[in-house]
Structure 1
Amino acid sequence: MQFYNLKENDEVVSFAQAVKQGLGKNQGLFFPEKMPAFDDIESLLALPFVERSVKVLAPFVQGSLSEKELSSIVTNAFNFPAQIQPISEHRAILELFHGPTLAFKDFGARFMAQCLQTFSKDKKITILTATSGDTGAAVAHAFHGLANIRVVILYPKGKISLLQEKMFTTLGDNIETIAIDGTFDDCQALVKDAFNDKELAQTIGLNSANSINISRLLAQVCYYFEAVAQLTRQKSKQNLGDLVVSVPSGNFGNLTAGLLGKALGLPIKRFIAATNANDTVPRYLSTGDWEPHETIATISNAMDVSNPNNWPRVEHMIKSGLVEGCVSAQSVDEEETQITMIQLAKLGYISEPHAAVAYKALQDCEDNEFGVFLGTAHPAKFKEVVENTLGQPIGLPKELADCAGEPILSIDMAADFAQLRDYLMSAK
């Protein structure tokens, strides 16, 4: 399959080139030329997770990966579950935090790392990415120790939880981390500046592991299929009702993947983009004006994004009719988030802030709708916030306990591209 640049439509590349290149000309995002048609969704949903994922991804990687290569990559990347957990009669959470860094981004980051290593052969590559929390850990662990791949991760200093920070800043080796004096949007802007610098990009073999990379998005489509498959097994069609999925949204890659799943035939009625106080998209869908405000720091910090990079893909799918009329958005403030965490705890479920935002956004579901919200990170990654909100201690899983006492290896840097450029061009 071929992928084209949403900004420069004449730029058409293979899956392999899209993965290696990351961004297209003029910072354009790559998008599939056509949506594959699956004739029998029910039979597809009956398959095991890994086997089904290979079939879902196969049309997109055709010409770039053999069936054997794809099967090996998916088997290695998806070696942990996505799990539906019931909350109440008409609500369930899709837990996506059972991977090595306890966050949904493990799915996309591990798939991308496996693909990129296959495509790059012996050529040296520099992965430059920005994180608002969980991307950093997922990318760092997915690429740690891979030959000929240098990873540089930018994150906003003091604006992510300490345990989030520890998961990707303590590894060393080929993983380099930079604490930027600014916001996540400043980090994203620096990444974009680096890609626009052609000399820099060519010299260091620049690539990005953010959710702008098409490989990460396609990997995430697979767990939406898994959610529907598990719900179909757990409930009859009569008891399930119309499926509504609420997605905690920051850079909007997760929502993009869900919409791709719907375009492929998944029986999902509609999606809710749940944001925190950084409400650019809810305001845009209400007024038609795209007006990013200054980023606001919140307890759901992975969604502290005012200018989401993946929105052009969402808008393209809406305007092209692929998913017309099935996207709404809702902003949830800090007080509502904490109240919702307490409500979930009373239902017997300990939630971190991002999932609570998504659960709150389901409040207006109709009687014939079944609401699923995404759990994108383990509550222990937000231990202090969860404990302060609920007034009870929570334990650390092994993945966090192992890194909690390790020293942070990051360097500090101003939000200045000249400094970043000098750093990237220096021999490592």
Structure 2
Amino acid sequence: MKLVNLKDSTDTATFAQAVKRGLGKNQGLYFPTNIPVLKNIDKVLAMPFVERSSFILSTLLEEELADTISEIVQQAFTFPAPVVELNDKISILELFHGPTLAFKDFGGRFMAQCLSRLTNNEPVTILTATSGDTGAAVAHAFHGLENINVVILFPKGKISPLQEKLFTTLGDNIHTVAIEGDFDACQKLVKTAFDDPDVREGLHLNSANSINISRLLAQVCYYFEALSQIPAEKRDQLVVSVPSGNFGNLTAGIIAKAMGLPVKRFIAATNVNDTVPRYLQSGTWEPKTTVATISNAMDVSQPNNWPRIEALIEKGYVEKSILHGYCVDEDYTQIALRQLAHQGYTSEPHAAVAYRALINNLGEGETGLFLGTAHPAKFRETVENVLGQPISLPQALSDVATKDSLAGTLPSDYEALKQHMLGLLKP
């Protein structure tokens, strides 16, 4: 697979190089120079999940990791992604059946398996920012792997307590830091570190955010898994609503569409941090100050992955008309949670945003699918307050609920972070 830096066309990379680098020069994102179109989609959709995912990824990667891609997928995708029908018009794709109960288990585990095979036992430091689920998925995927240290930044007091406990209680090679700022401040610190040769080269820096191409490609696979569970006669009129914060999830869906995924269109569903919906309507990119919401993993005003979606459109892989943006405020998020509960389905705020956007945008003859990106118990307090009824904790959360957090705290200051990381990890 050949990739090019979207900010510097002279900066190219193989998949292996891009996985190890994370970001390109000038904080640029790597993007495929070619996206293959799959032949005989019906045959592809008829394959079992792991077999199909191995085929899709081997097609994308061409010869890279050819000998081990099936093994990587088998070790990474050890849990299902079921489609649950709410009614004859709308279904949900449940992506929270992995070890940390969130969709990011797919990308995190795939990246960990790839990187562990590509480092040749050289030391690596993973530096990533999280608005919630990335931290847990990355921490668990890399926990205990030799020669790999992980540093996770998260906005202090702005993610749910149970989300935080999933990644701040592991210890060992997992190091966590609460930043006194919002998620955008955490992302800025990560980007600054990649521009600093003392840290980038001294600590062999890499990133496990959805800016890393390995995570993104892994997510392509569950869109095909979703379509395999949709009746064939409904596929070409299917509208997929994606809860969107940093926009990696939607990027993967559009890559799947470019490869031949038979869906009609996508909805970029955001909370009040609505930079993209406003941009799609006005053509003007105007990020505002990030606002804290109950769908906190989507509290992102400057989504990192948006340039990849722009590239997919500009390079002609998809038409801009297949993408619609929709903003859901706090009141309607809570209303959506109640509407889902009235249908016998307990959900959480991010999926509720996607559901609300979907029912407000579904046209005549269309059917809808929205993505459930996290288990509702990860947002237990919010869900219980909105629905007025208790929900039980799954084992993965009850195991960490009473553990002490091992996270440190730093101001939103790069020099402070730099000294912390060098003191912690410098050989």
- Which residue of structure 1 aligns with residue 38 of structure 2? 38
Question: Could you tell me which amino acid in structure 1 is paired with residue 81 of structure 2?
Answer: A
> Are residues 1:342 and 2:338 paired?
yes
Aligned residue among 361, 372, 375 for 1:375: 372
> Are residues 1:393 and 2:394 paired?
no
Does the residue aligned with 1:107 lie in a helix, a strand or coil? helix
Give the unaligned 5+ runs of structure 1.
none
Q: How big is the shift at 1:4?
A: 0.7
Q: How big is the shift at 1:426?
A: 1.4
Identity of aligned residues (%): 61
> Are residues 1:142 and 2:126 paired?
no
**Alignment check: 8 A CA contact 2:166 2:400 kept:** yes
Aligned residue among 279, 287, 306 for 1:284: 279
**Alignment check: 8 A CA contact 1:241 1:368 kept:** no
Distance in 1 (alpha carbons) for counterparts of 2:63 and 2:221: 20
- Which residue of structure 1 aligns with residue 108 of structure 2? 109
Higher alpha-carbon deviation: 321-330 or 218-227 = 321-330
Higher alpha-carbon deviation: 181-190 or 4-13 = 4-13
TM-score by length of structure 1 reads 0.98
Q: How big is the shift at 1:121?
A: 1.6
Question: What are the Cα deviations for residues 357-400 of structure 1, in whole angstroms up to 9, with x where unaligned?
Answer: 00000122112111000000000000000000000000000000
**Alignment check: 8 A CA contact 1:281 1:329 kept:** yes
Distance in 2 (alpha carbons) for counterparts of 1:241 and 1:11: 38
Question: What are the Cα deviations for residues 97-126 of structure 1, in whole angstroms up to 9, with x where unaligned?
Answer: 000000000000000000000000210000
Distance in 2 (alpha carbons) for counterparts of 1:270 and 1:403: 39
**Alignment check: 8 A CA contact 1:14 1:63 kept:** no
Distance in 2 (alpha carbons) for counterparts of 1:128 and 1:427: 13
- Which residue of structure 2 aligns with residue 352 of structure 1? 348
TM-score by length of structure 2 reads 0.98
Question: Could you tell me which amino acid in structure 2 is paired with residue 126 of structure 1?
Answer: T
> Are residues 1:421 and 2:422 paired?
no
Does the residue aligned with 1:335 lie in a helix, a strand or coil? helix
Q: How big is the shift at 1:150?
A: 0.4
- Which residue of structure 2 aligns with residue 164 of structure 1? 163
Does the residue aligned with 2:158 lie in a helix, a strand or coil? coil
Question: Could you tell me which amino acid in structure 2 is paired with residue 321 of structure 1?
Answer: G
- Which residue of structure 2 aligns with residue 98 of structure 1? 97
Distance in 2 (alpha carbons) for counterparts of 1:286 and 1:92: 27
Q: How big is the shift at 1:288?
A: 1.0
**Alignment check: 8 A CA contact 1:15 1:60 kept:** no
Give the unaligned 5+ runs of structure 2.
none
> Are residues 1:81 and 2:76 paired?
no
Segments of 4+ moved more than 4 angstroms: none
Distance in 2 (alpha carbons) for counterparts of 1:188 and 1:42: 40
Aligned residue among 328, 331, 335 for 2:327: 331
- Which residue of structure 1 aligns with residue 7 of structure 2? 7
Does the residue aligned with 2:3 lie in a helix, a strand or coil? strand
**Alignment check: 8 A CA contact 2:93 2:370 kept:** yes
Distance in 2 (alpha carbons) for counterparts of 1:318 and 1:47: 29
